[in-house]
């Protein structure tokens, strides 16, 4: 149970009591308004995410860069347990991280699969894909078996930019 005291009122301040269900309903309503996925359940008090940051080395290899991208992706999503996801709107970054991680031997992603993987609403991904394509960071290709769908992948330029960023990030954390 959460209580809110309105200190601007007179001495007979009103107290607003919210149950956990009230907070979940409010979060759901805000997510609909902000076009963001609903916030996951709140963690138990005192719990911490169990994410291990990769260790830096002199010259990181591809596996270390994917490991760092994976760590960054999951660290960003872990913060959604503490803050509303709509508060930190970096959908393009979430898409780039997801595509970079999936690029290492994984299947190409449809827009729907990318939405699920990146945990970004499909409408938001569609808005950002054109910008990412204009900067030659990602590309869409027709799906070979489903004309209604497209496959999205990171471009060589996008991969090189991500690897440069991740290498520099890993080196600066040493």
72-110 pLDDT, tens per residue? 988 888 887 888 877 777 889 999 999 999 887 666 889
Same domain, residue pair 152 and 105: yes
| φ/ψ (deg, to 5) at 16 | -105, 120
Same domain, residue pair 67 and 30: no
Residues facing 16 on adjacent strands: 4
Same domain, residue pair 19 and 68: no
pLDDT for 39: 45
CB atoms within 10 A of CB 148: 7
Whether residue 56 lies inside any domain: the answer is no
The full 3-state SS of 111-160, as one line of letters, equals HHHHHHHHCCCHHHHHHHHHHHHHCCCEEEEECCCCCCCEEEEECHHHHH
Same domain, residue pair 66 and 150: yes
Whether residue 41 lies inside any domain: the answer is no
Whether residue 91 lies inside any domain: the answer is yes
Tally of domains within the chain: 2
Those residues of the chain that have pLDDT short of 70 are 1-16, 18, 27-59, 105-107, 174
The Cα-based distances of 34 to 29, 85, 124, 163 in angstroms read 9, 9, 11, 32
pLDDT for 4: 46
Q: Which of 90, 69, 56 is nearest to 161 (CA)?
A: 69
Whether residue 8 lies inside any domain: the answer is yes
Same domain, residue pair 89 and 131: yes
Whether residue 46 lies inside any domain: the answer is no
Residue 143: give the domain boundaries: 62-172
pLDDT for 55: 55
Same domain, residue pair 80 and 30: no
Same domain, residue pair 70 and 136: yes
pLDDT for 59: 65
Same domain, residue pair 85 and 163: yes
Same domain, residue pair 89 and 12: no
CATH number for the domain spanning 144: value is: 1.10.10.10
| φ/ψ (deg, to 5) at 110 | -75, 170
Same domain, residue pair 88 and 137: yes
Whether residue 45 lies inside any domain: the answer is no
Q: Is the pTM of this model over 0.85?
A: no
| φ/ψ (deg, to 5) at 58 | -60, -60
């Amino acid at each position: 149970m959460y209580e809110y005291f309105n200190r601007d009122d007179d001495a007979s301040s009103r107290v607003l009591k919210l149950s956990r269900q009230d907070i979940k309903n409010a979060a759901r309503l805000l997510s609909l308004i902000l076009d963001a996925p609903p916030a996951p359940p709140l963690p138990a008090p005192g719990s911490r995410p169990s994410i291990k940051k990769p260790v830096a080395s002199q010259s990181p290899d591809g596996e270390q860069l994917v490991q760092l991208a994976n760590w960054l992706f999951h660290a960003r999503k872990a913060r959604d347990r503490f803050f509303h996801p709509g508060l930190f709107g970096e959908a393009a970054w979430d898409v780039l991280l997801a595509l970079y991680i999936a690029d290492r031997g994984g299947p190409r992603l449809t827009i729907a699969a990318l939405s699920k993987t990146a945990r970004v609403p499909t409408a938001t991904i569609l808005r950002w894909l054109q910008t990412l394509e204009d900067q030659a960071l990602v590309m869409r290709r027709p799906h070979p078996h489903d004309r209604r769908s497209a496959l999205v992948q990171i471009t060589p330029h996008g991969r090189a930019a991500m690897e440069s960023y991740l290498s520099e990030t890993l080196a600066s954390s040493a």
